[in-house]
Copies of this chain bind each other. A is one copy, B any other.
């Protein structure tokens, strides 16, 4: 069994067989030719599953796509950036449906097989004429995944793409947007994944949920979701391999490849956090349960004070322990062991003497790793994030204006 992922260089969402994509500049928010609208299509109808925002304020495309995925099938996705189509009422729902219908006509599939996603400013109606013109300009191709990855960017500074080859001849590809580990509550997370494995719908849903739990949910905090978050996985079976359903080696192989793809994209999102200058990985072990480990890792990596300390290369380990202490996890303050960048700072809950310059050096690096052992049980988890910079505040002080 291979444990290292087999990444495809320069791969992306159209790396799996039978998927096509394309994008256009519709001028939804920005002018100057920035790509802001795209379509993903499969040559044949797919099994499809998605994980959506848990926010009670849901955007129209989320409501529509969720409803369409009840039957577990889809052939295409149309997506735009620049406007979220959230808090837009019945008109917003009608616009989302019309957007799907336009895309369906353009590529020749049934409208109810088309899903919709949007990201951008809340509360504005979609500019339907521009959407229409944009869709008309989209040309699908097997190389179009890279353009689609660019079309979904908002404050992202780089496109995020991945493709992983599975052991059974299938491929998993994906793109994501979201420049907000820091605050995913509004920095919409969109992730679209494709595979040419023939994955049965029940297992597809289960595998996606499991992959999201160890990836995107570890660059976030439960409930910190935008109105538009969506992680979609479409499987068209074009690899020629046999059906993949729950249990057995094929399922394990698929789950592993999917996890690798999701974790790669999740880390890319954390790395591209708004205003981020450093990437942070927090590894928690020895928790009473896996759930406790997740709680602690996420609380630490999302603590503004920990993030600000990392930004300033300040070995303020008390903030890390305090974050763990308020995480809600079972914890004995006298058993905590903390390492930063491989250097031990705390043993049994007490500071040990350490070379401060050495730790500052580790904190000055582009990637900072913290490990916290609770010494209680076997629960372990890893979370990812980024530092908190003055630039983050500047970015978020004038987003709509």
Contact = CB atoms under 8 A, between A and B. Distances in A.
A305 interface: yes
Nearest to A308: B396
Interface string A115-154: 0000001111000000000000000000000000000000
A344 interface: no
Interface string A367-401: 00000000000000000000011101110111111
A186 B324 CA distance: 12
A242 interface: no
A349 B393 contact: no
B393 A393 contact: yes
Interface residues of A, number: 63
Tell me whether chain A's interface is mostly helix, strand or loop, or mixed: loop
Contacts of A98: none
A339 to B, nearest CB: 15
B393 A318 contact: no
Interface string A339-380: 000000010011100000000100000000000000000000
Interface stretch (A50-58, A160-168, A253-261, A263-271): A50-58
A305 B185 contact: yes
A290 interface: no
A34 interface: no
B389 A393 contact: yes
Given A87-B349, A123-B318, A124-B351, 4 more contacts: A305-B396, A311-B397, A314-B399, A388-B396
